[in-house]
Structures are given as structure tokens and as C-alpha cells.
Amino acid sequence: MLKDLSLETILNNLTMGIAILDEERNFIYINDLTTKITGYSLSDIENLEGWFNAAFPDPKKRNEIYTAFKEKVASREHYNRVSEISTKSGEKKFVEFRVNPIEDNYLLVNLVDVSRRVEREKEIKYLSYHDSLTELYNRRYFENEMERLNGSRRYPISIIIGDLDNLKIVNDNHGHLLGDEYLKKSADILSDLLRAEDIIARIGGDEFAILLPETGTEETSQICRRIIKEFKKYNSANDFPVDFEISLGYATAKTNNKGLFEVYNQADKNMYKNKGRK
């Protein structure tokens, strides 16, 4: 029965893209799935150079990938790589390429569209470092950043700890959905007031932490005053049933002689002192 099936029929029904190049690196065969994945047919890309120009329009990226490819092929090694390509329509896709040298210096290329897998991996990585409610960083990321900056050249480094004053009252008397609105609005205020390089995290139920590289004591104090002022401004202008307030404490490491986890603990203590004065 197999003799009744043509080789082309078999190749066109595989679950991966197939392309074959001759010793001059001209394409001599592309199956239907390769065209479906990339948009390019055999008439669109005659040779390897044309493929790289079409799939990787950015010259720097194209040169990086092409160089690695040529090195592998020159030594007749298998070449496996996931790359983001530009399809014929301009759509971006992540494709896994598996290139195998075969007889007479021909190349057999397998292509698999892994866009969904890559996007899922990005989503999982994002969720592992972010708080799902506020979309701020989470405690894990914040602690990783403290470790990274500990002993760096970005001193002075300051840390602010913030705690919402009335979130338990809101949750107990008005429900967690309203409590979530308090948290999300808090995240918005902090994100709007701080720099892109500052690390803002939700590290607990009603607790936030801010890591400020190259920021001294006086500047940190000013930032805290701005945060408090913005909370009060929002509180007076909106109809939250319970006061929208935050308690803050901060501490600064002027040099790398002081560890950032020690600074964190001092900022946390200062926050509770300030909270107790209210």
C-alpha cells in the first residue's frame, strides 16, 4: 500500500515543516506546513541568504543568528535553535529550527511553530515574579533584586516599606472586592510617582516595598511625603467608605558596608513606629 503514496504526499502530511537545501544552499524543496508556518513558498525564497533577509529583517539579529548557523554547518554539526521570525505577512512567530547535514552536503531543516509554548513560558515567568492583583512585583522578585543590588555600585540605596492602614476594616465590613480596589489604587499611585528603575512590590496582604537605587535619605523622605500627599488627595476626592491611608517607613544604605536586608528590616521597623503614632 505504501508504494501508492508519493514522497511529496508523505512530506506534506508531516506535523512539522520540512525544507531541503542543496550544497549551494539553494532551496530545492519546502513542504506545505513550512509555507503555512512562514508564509514563504519555494518561489519566495530561492536560497539561504534570501531566507535570512526575509525572516530576520533586523541586520544585527540576522548577523548573530546567521553566524552561529554557519559555524555549526561548517563543522557538520546539528543546529537547533528557537528564533523569532518575521513571516511573509509581517507577523512575528517563534519557530524552532532543527538543521541536520545529510548526504552530499545537503541540509535537512525541520521547523516547528512554538509561539504558543514561548508565550506560555513568558506568562509563567511573569506570574512567578508578579502579584496577580496589582501587577506589581512580588516578594520573591523584590528579594532577588535586593540580593542583586547588595554590594553593587548603585549606592546610596534606600528602601521604603508601606502598609495600608485600614484594609482589614474594609475587608471585614465591605468585602474583599472593595479591599482589592484599595490595593489596586495603591499600586497605581506608587507606580505613577516613582521612576521606571525603582522596584515596587506587593510583599504581603496589605504591605508594599520600594527599592530605590542611587537614592539618599533626603530624596527618599521627599518621596514618602509625595506618596502620603497623593493618598490624602485621592482620599478626599473619592467616595471610599473607609479612609484611604498608608503608613510608610524607610531606611538608607549610604555605602555597601550595610546590607540591604538589614536596611529592609530597619525600614519595616520605622514603618510600624510611624503607624503606631497615628
Give the catalytic positions in this structure: 206
Q: How far is CA 42 from the centre of its chain?
A: 36
Strands 199-202 and 137-138, sheet pairing: parallel
Closest CA to 254 of 245, 263, 242: 263
**HSE value, Cβ hemisphere, 13 Å, CA-based, for 119:** 7
- Spell out a b/e string for 20-36, using b for 16 or more CB atoms within 10 Å of the CB, else e: bbeeebebebbbebbbe
Cis peptide before 156 (omega within 30 of 0): yes
Residue 255 · residue 147 · CB < 8 Å: no
Task: State the DSSP code for 134.
Answer: T
Instruction: Find the length of the chain.
Output: 278
DSSP assignment of 211-254:
EETT--HHHHHHHHHHHHHHHHHHHHHS--SS---EEEEEEEES
Q: How far is CA 165 from the centre of its chain?
A: 32
